[in-house]
Structure 1
């Protein structure tokens, strides 16, 4: 990638990089995904499926559902907006972003040519002053009902004009970094210049109703060095706090300041609140702006909000946003199973946020959350086929009654299809979450076989990982460089390997384990300093030095904080980073009748031919049986088979459970029939 200063000259932009950008930034930088090559058996096949199946299917569905047609009609200023939501433009932007990342890893001339043609259509739909919003441009006299008669009129409530812009910016930066082409970037910069001219002190004041413009503006600032982009991103943060919060008496209680994270100034916010996806995009932007400006109040606020989320508003599978009404965070400890929402987009946003928190603080707890979300609550959002998805991610499917409240099966597409396209852009960027670097410190956050090329004090270093994670805790790291290098290798020791189920008291292991993490260098056991959750290995590294780390992979039972009422007297199952569930297919057609008493012993079973290869858990446990002929209930011994939570719903529709009672305390009698599940963003 060319330097920002050279980029300014190429584009003919005025001004140099602001001095602030040279002084302040994230203390830790992520190693770019283009410098990390994955070779593992878990993530690499999934990235390949994303490239060969998910992204092509997403483009095809954008064509088939008239999302592309909207841009064509906007260019012609003729026709009628052909889809449902004014933010449908973003499905094209997100897929372009994912495809751009994918091109960096897997060059594809045919895909590149298709993207060029699609970008041309996007550019043709842009108005002369930079405005880009097909829901208005197609027929300005009759815009989308959510848009208002004038530009930006309903930005806070419904229009999503700045939300569209934010995803455009994210896609444009990805495309430029991947290809060196400025076609989409020029479109984004023209739009961003318009946004900066409209919003700011003494101009229009509004806090974006659906955040992401802030994150996108920061990315444009990083690429161009243009201070107005960072200033406008900060302005959008500072504009919050002008509207009333939640009012249960309102006819629409979820459309309010709290829902938009707009009921308090951002520096006064202390809890994760409102629409979860919007919130976590906001918190990501707060971290960005805090890093780039040194704003200590902003940093303190985002730290406090993070602590609230992981302590009181986070599912054991990594899902966030418990409440379907408003797709929002609930109250503290409001984490119901039967109605759990856990939007897939919220998991994507949570990964973005926690990566930024790691870069700010260098603590392993943020990477622990990334890992939990990746292997569980996010990965469950896409089927093994790469083209079927969950919008929400259930915690239980218990007979037909729960079908009315949760999704019992994946769908190929949604009328509001933000989640599939969000996954399409997240997966190919995954290599960029594996490593971080700060001067002589190299952080290993994720355990994924492959290699990365780094520079420490201008000396080239290649670090290679070999493992069978997440099924095995045996990790091997090989250092390869031309000459001796003096640096610190910081290997994350996951919280779950240190008897910490969460970096809070929201979840804990039912029983402590005395299994130890061991570290060897060139075959010899070493003592190491544990700092902020990392094993710090400081030495003069020689060519082909080998570090072996062994993480204990015992099956653990997890219990929730007693204030989480749905999980009192229940346990969840965890092995390594993977949370498990029981599904009907493996358990004689039911999962809601299983009891896991204290002291249950589990056996791990490798199943290479099941669900693309998994390690399953088995145990003999009591299950509840009903004899309909005699109206009697009894318990019998049966084999429980548990599979990784991410893999459920790939073999048809039926019961699924994450939390298991340890003893029988009640019996549900269910009569309600199933209903349809719908979504509205």
Structure 2
């Protein structure tokens, strides 16, 4: 433990020495927040006991570890499919590092050290680390050029691999205080910066993340070259002359890689949704650390475009399966929705950074939507089955082969499962943030956090049953009376706002209260709202208790009329959770349910169902076809909706999020 404390002290000193500009708001580190939560803690524990071991086992059984062993000896043949398969090991190490800070594990720590030793042996003398080439430079496959970096703009993923290495190294160093992986990453980063950057070779990386990774190493090391190279990777976008600007093919015109125009001129989310989210996160980092106002204006505009025109109601992004990419404005089909899990994760990173830039709760509102819906839907309740894509509806025809109707253990491209591994145990780092005398409470997750506010020790303990219950309780403790402001996020959904835009709205505009009731030590307090936060300013003392009551009504969500797939339909939301209907609870069907305006709802917590969930109940019409297939009618039947994240954990069958309010037509499908 002493080593870890020393590590943070050194990190802080370097950070202060190296940087003059940064995010105006700083997140409270994940190591300072200890969870006791009934919703997130079991998932994070399962990640530690099931998902991480399964991921490492699969890295070994699929040859991902063997690739590093062969690279060390320069013998053999690269034995997996993609040159970016190295990153599955890096991402799992990153998640395991976060997990170690929560659940110390001597065996896991030793296993990480053994893997890091293997990785170090695979690194070439000058720092290059890329097993697809190092094993046998003369047999590199179609995605990799004969020379280093030759196909980086397209398919080689050399810098993508490096970026994930840097992310893993930063997490491992922060969680353990050890430098073994960090030194490997720094050696590689020194090589990258000797090749690329101002006055050197320029490239717009084909799959972004190296920018974010370099920023993390810059924070640790203080080396200005890391920040300068990250900025150069961003600034060079839109300057390549080899694209066909007249082509509508996104691979040919550069849009697929967000490379068709300079970033400062980009105003819409485009191309591959995962790459885009990583790019926009990196742009936010560079804007914060350099004060670049043009980059800031660009990333602000792109965020607005996504939230007003390109995001699904459950927080998913990337509507088009062909290229795993964003579509046109309002192009949000349900039947063929792609919604890659990695895209949801990238947008968690991005929205957190947007909040740190601007301090507005709308970014956390979007991040919360993703966390409770579009992200965890990608992980099975067993901790070892996954979705790569996250469907918006599954009908009994199962006609779209690229839409997953059931979960898989892993995938030939297993970027999503290992991404899940690294984000889950990092969630404690998203709960609180600070700026001067302001303490932001962003997420409502039980646990205790210890921090310093205005150089005074402060502890905050949360006690709630979120997201099922809106009654929130915060116990504030200070060693000495301390004067600061506690800013509690009042979620948009609690104020009648389904989305911080007109893309989705609550149909019946729930009872919007002038102020959400808040008490301190049992006494009502008056407070001001600031950027979506209730500001409670006072001299805090030991065992001060803040209580907030958020309304938890079942709301009907309607989409903007420009979203053609959702015209005449409603979705259901309670608190931050989006609901769906599965065949299992609705007489074997879900695609035949009608949701009339007159339907009323009740809710019930079912402890023995899907690891404990709040269900929504009603009685609604369902379209029924008789056994002969000749008569169509509607009948009233019981209706049960479950949280969207929990679907596809009981087998394969129909699932719907959007329900028609009226029967306007009946599709006639010929049998096979």
Is TM > 0.5 for Structure 1 vs Structure 2?
yes
**Structure 1 residue 397: Cα displacement:** 0.1
Question: Counterparts of 1:337-416 in structure 2 under 5 Å?
Answer: 337-416=334-413
DSSP-derived class of the 1:497 partner:
helix
Q: Note if contact 1:245-1:258 (Cα within 8 Å) is conserved in structure 2.
A: no
**Deviation by residue 1:504-534 (Cα, 9 ceiling, x = unmatched):** 0000000112253211111111221111000
Task: Give the Cα–Cα distance (whole angstroms) in 1 for the partners of residues 177 and 154 of structure 2.
Answer: 36
Question: Counterparts of 1:222-301 in structure 2 under 5 Å?
Answer: 222-243=219-240, 253-254=250-251, 256-301=253-298
**Structure 1 residue 256: Cα displacement:** 4.2
**Structure 1 residue 556: Cα displacement:** 0.2
Matched, 1:556 2:555: yes
Q: Note if contact 1:528-1:537 (Cα within 8 Å) is conserved in structure 2.
A: yes
Q: Note if contact 2:167-2:216 (Cα within 8 Å) is conserved in structure 1.
A: yes
DSSP-derived class of the 1:349 partner:
helix
Matched, 1:60 2:57: yes
Q: Note if contact 2:470-2:549 (Cα within 8 Å) is conserved in structure 1.
A: yes
Structure 1 residue runs without a partner (length 5+)? 10-15, 674-681
Question: Counterparts of 1:602-621 in structure 2 under 5 Å?
Answer: 602-621=601-620
DSSP-derived class of the 1:156 partner:
coil
Question: Counterparts of 1:219-618 in structure 2 under 5 Å?
Answer: 219-243=216-240, 253-254=250-251, 256-514=253-511, 516=513, 517-618=516-617
**Structure 1 residue 668: Cα displacement:** 1.9
Structure 2 residue runs without a partner (length 5+)? none
Matched, 1:193 2:164: no
**Structure 1 residue 22: Cα displacement:** 3.4
Which of the numbers 164, 170, 173 marks the counterpart of 2:161?
164
**Deviation by residue 1:467-494 (Cα, 9 ceiling, x = unmatched):** 0000000000111112111010000000
- 1:676 maps to which residue? none
**Deviation by residue 1:63-114 (Cα, 9 ceiling, x = unmatched):** 0000000000100100000000000000000000000000011110100111
Matched, 1:136 2:168: no
**Deviation by residue 1:383-435 (Cα, 9 ceiling, x = unmatched):** 00000000000000011234424100000000000000000000000000000
**Structure 1 residue 543: Cα displacement:** 1.1
Matched, 1:41 2:38: yes
**Structure 1 residue 203: Cα displacement:** 2.0
Q: Note closer, same or farther for the CA distance 1:478–1:18 as it changes in structure 2 (3 Å cut).
A: closer
DSSP-derived class of the 1:400 partner:
coil
Task: Give the Cα–Cα distance (whole angstroms) in 2 for the partners of residues 3 and 302 of structure 1.
Answer: 33
Task: Give the Cα–Cα distance (whole angstroms) in 1 for the partners of residues 195 and 16 of structure 2.
Answer: 22
**Structure 1 residue 460: Cα displacement:** 0.8
Q: Note closer, same or farther for the CA distance 1:626–1:4 as it changes in structure 2 (3 Å cut).
A: closer
Question: Counterparts of 1:622-633 in structure 2 under 5 Å?
Answer: 622-629=621-628, 631-633=630-632
Task: Give the CA RMSD over aligned residues.
Answer: 1.7
Q: Note closer, same or farther for the CA distance 1:8–1:315 as it changes in structure 2 (3 Å cut).
A: closer
Matched, 1:181 2:178: yes
Task: Give the Cα–Cα distance (whole angstroms) in 2 for the partners of residues 515 and 472 of structure 1.
Answer: 18
**Structure 1 residue 249: Cα displacement:** 6.0
Q: Note closer, same or farther for the CA distance 1:393–1:245 as it changes in structure 2 (3 Å cut).
A: farther
Alignment length, in residue pairs? 665
Q: Note if contact 1:4-1:223 (Cα within 8 Å) is conserved in structure 2.
A: no
Matched, 1:85 2:82: yes
**Structure 1 residue 242: Cα displacement:** 2.5
**Structure 1 residue 40: Cα displacement:** 1.1
Q: Note if contact 2:331-2:563 (Cα within 8 Å) is conserved in structure 1.
A: yes
TM-score (ref. length: structure 1): 0.95
Task: Give the Cα–Cα distance (whole angstroms) in 2 for the partners of residues 246 and 395 of structure 1.
Answer: 34
Q: Note if contact 1:338-1:402 (Cα within 8 Å) is conserved in structure 2.
A: no
Task: Give the Cα–Cα distance (whole angstroms) in 1 for the partners of residues 11 and 502 of structure 2.
Answer: 48
Task: Give the Cα–Cα distance (whole angstroms) in 1 for the partners of residues 588 and 152 of structure 2.
Answer: 48
DSSP-derived class of the 2:153 partner:
helix
- 1:643 maps to which residue? 642
Task: Give the Cα–Cα distance (whole angstroms) in 2 for the partners of residues 537 and 650 of structure 1.
Answer: 42
Q: Note closer, same or farther for the CA distance 1:6–1:485 as it changes in structure 2 (3 Å cut).
A: closer
Task: Give the Cα–Cα distance (whole angstroms) in 2 for the partners of residues 600 and 87 of structure 1.
Answer: 50
Q: Note if contact 2:15-2:219 (Cα within 8 Å) is conserved in structure 1.
A: no
- 1:679 maps to which residue? none
**Structure 1 residue 589: Cα displacement:** 0.7
Which of the numbers 106, 111, 116 marks the counterpart of 1:109?
106
Task: Give the Cα–Cα distance (whole angstroms) in 2 for the partners of residues 438 and 344 of structure 1.
Answer: 31
Q: Note closer, same or farther for the CA distance 1:7–1:356 as it changes in structure 2 (3 Å cut).
A: closer
TM-score (ref. length: structure 2): 0.97
